[in-house]
Amino acid sequence: MKNLNQKRAEHILLVTTSNFPYGGPSANVLRLLTTGLSRDNRIVEVLLQKGIYYGNVVENNKREGSIEGVSYRYCGYHFRPQNPLKKILDSAAGMLIPLSSVISRKIKNKIDCVILYNSTAYECLGLLLVCRLLGIPVINHVVEWYEKDSVAASWWKAPKWWDFLFRMKVMNLYFNGLMVTSSFLKNYYVTKGIAENSILILPNLVDISAFVSDKEHVQEINRTVCIGYCGTPTRKDGIDDLLLAFQKVHERHPYSELLVIGDTINRDSLIPKLKEKVKRLGIEGEVRFTGLVKWEQIPGLLNSCDILALARPSGKFAEAGFPTKLGEYMACRKPVVVTKVGDMQYYLKDKDNAMLAEPDNPESVASKICYLIENAEHAKKIGDNGLLWVKQHLEYIESTKNVGKFFDTFKS
C-alpha cells in the first residue's frame, strides 16, 4: 500500500535552444545540471527547441532519448534544416510544443518548475506568459552578457541584438527567479528591483571524476613544458594575448610549447589565421593546434599539459560571465593562469589556488606562466589547491542540490 505521507517527486521541465546532452560547453553544463537534479530525486525532462546545427559535433545524439534518468526530445527536426520553409516549421514547433507540453503537464499535475536556457525573446515570451498565468514557477538561466559585435556583426543582424537587449533588460524582470553566472549579473538585476533571494549565482558545474588524473608530470630541467588552452580561440577568449604572452615565455624558456585545443563550430575555422599570426610571431614550431575534438578527448588533452591558461580580456562580457573551461582546468589538478576579470578576484587567490594575471596585459600573463615554470613545487601546490576549490564550489552533484533548494523557494 502506498504511503500517503510519501513526498511526490518534483517535475522539472527544461526548455532550451542549445544542444543536449552533448555538443559544446552549454550542452555539458545542461547535462550536469539536469543529471544532478535527477540524482537529487527530481524528475527532469528536456525539450530542445531547435534542431542541431552542427551534427558532426554531436554525432552520437538522438532525436529523443535519456541520459542518467533525464529524458529529452526535439520539438521539431533533429537537425536544423536549410530549407527556409522547414526552418520556419522547426522554429514554430520549438515555440508551440513547449506551450502544449506545459499545459498538459499542468492538467496532469506533473509540473513544478520550468527552466529556460538560451532561448530568444520570441521563442520564450509565450512560455513565460503561460507559466505565469498557470502559476508555474519559471526560472531563466542567464549565463552572460554578449558583445554587440558577436551578435550583430552586420546591420541585417541588428534584430538579434535588440532581441538580446529586450531579454536582458525587460523580460528577465518578469521571471519568478534567475540563475546567473556572476555577481555582476546578480547586482544588475537587484538594482532593477528583483529580490536578492530570487537570484542564484551558479558560476559553473564540473564533473570532477571526468578530469582528475592520477598521473603527474615530473618537471625536469630542460624537459618541454606544455602550456594548454581549450575553447573557441577568439579575441573574446583571449587567444591574441595568450599568443603574445607565450612568445615572451618561449624567449625565456625555449623548451616550452603551447597546445591550443578547439576551434569554432559556427563558421569557418579560426586556425588558418591563427597559424599566420603564430608565424609572424616567430613561434610556429612551438604552437600546436588540435582543431575541433570530441568532448571525450578533452580531459586527456588537458592532462597532457603542465600549465593551463586563460587570458580573457576585460569587458562587460567578461564581468558578466564565468568561463566553463576554468573549472575543467582546475579539476585536472593543474596550476592555472587566469586573468583577473569578473568574479575571479572573489573566488581565487593569487599564488594560492591560481595565478591571477592582469587582463589586456600579455606581459602579466607571461610572468605568471614563467613563475610556474621556475617554481615547480609551488606550482604543484597551486594545482592541488585549485582542485580543492573546485570540489568545494563547482562539483555538480553538491551544487545542483543547492539549485534544487533554490527551486523549492518558489513552491506555492
Q: What domains sit in the chain, N to C, each tagged with a CATH number?
A: 10-205+395-408 (3.40.50.2000), 208-393 (3.40.50.2000)
Q: Are 280 and 273 in contact (CB under 8 A)?
A: no
Q: Which residues of 209-229 are buried (b: 16+ CB within 10 A; e: fewer)?
A: eebbeeeebebeeeeebbbbb
Question: What nine digits make up the cell of 261?
Answer: 585545443
Peptide bond between residue 362 and the one before it cis (omega within 30 degrees of 0): no
- Write the DSSP assignment of 123-180 as a string of letters: HHHHHHHHHHHHT--EEEEE-----HHHH-SSGGGHHHHHHHHHHHHTGGGGSSEEEE
- How confident is residue 55, by pLDDT bands cut at 50, 70 and 90? very low
pLDDT tens string 75-118 = 999 888 889 999 999 999 999 999 999 999 999 999 999 999 98
Q: By C-alpha distance, which of 37, 21, 167, 27 is closest to 113?
A: 37
Question: What nine digits make up the cell of 316?
Answer: 562587460
Mean pLDDT for the stretch of residues 5-14:
76
**What is the structure's pLDDT at 255?**
94
pLDDT tens string 156-215 = 778 888 999 999 999 999 999 999 999 999 999 999 999 999 999 999 999 999 998 766
Q: Whole-prediction pTM value?
A: 0.90
Q: How far is CA 59 from CA 54, 55, 80, 146, in A?
A: 9, 5, 14, 28
Mean pLDDT for the stretch of residues 35-58:
84
Has residue 4 got a pLDDT over 50? Answer: no
